[in-house]
Amino acid sequence: MNWWKPEDIREIDFNRSFRGYNEEEVRDFLEELASQIESMVAEREKILQDNRELKKRLKDKEGKLSNLEAQIEEWEKQIQVERELAKRESQMVLKEAEIRGQEIVEEALKRKKEIEKGYQALLEQYRLFQIRFRSLLQTFMDSLEWKEKDWDAKALEESKGVKEEEKEEGGEIARFSIQDFQNDNRLRKS
């Protein structure tokens, strides 16, 4: 479609005839028509210019929107990675805490066993000490009884005049007690 330009309409020249149209009315009409077309063309150009600007702005906005969507998608991926890392880290911390807790429990149980073992060793030493001490006391008590008997016998013998045998018997008692201590020390060492 070929649009009429206002200048073309103004320059149109009609053939004249005797019974034709009033030339001035035709000229006024053509001038009015040219003015309307001129304003329509100007309006059309303005609309086309506005349309071009709006399309350009739309394209810019779409580009920015596309960039924002890409950025948001990148952030979402990064957030997902961060969540996964945080989840793994929390699992690792939890696992380390469980392992450390197990180590502490095992160490405490080991220490408890050592203490119980030491306690049992001390208890056994205490029992052995009681047995030895009782034996020593019994030996001492027996020697005291023997000495008392010996004193009674000595009193009788003194009256008879035997003093050398007392020394030998007392020496045997002393040797017997020292031997017991030596035997006790050997048992302790082994």
Per the prediction, the chain carries an average pLDDT of 81
Is residue 6 a contact partner of residue 37, using CB atoms and an 8 Å limit?
yes
- Calculate the CA 72 to chain-centre distance: 29
Assess whether pLDDT exceeds 60 at residue 23: yes
Question: What are the pLDDT digits (tens) for 71-128?
Answer: 999 999 999 999 999 999 999 999 999 999 999 999 999 999 999 999 999 999 999 9
Would you state the pLDDT for residue 2?
65
Tell me how far apart the alpha carbons of residues 138 and 149 are, in angstroms, rounded to a whole number.
16
Assess whether pLDDT exceeds 50 at residue 175: no
Tell me how far apart the alpha carbons of residues 180 and 190 are, in angstroms, rounded to a whole number.
16
- In percent, the amount of the chain with pLDDT more than 70 equals 72
Tell me how far apart the alpha carbons of residues 7 and 141 are, in angstroms, rounded to a whole number.
155
The residue with greater pLDDT, 5 or 172, is: 5
Cβ burial of 174 (10 Å; 0-12, 13-18, 19+) is: exposed
Is residue 173 a contact partner of residue 147, using CB atoms and an 8 Å limit?
yes
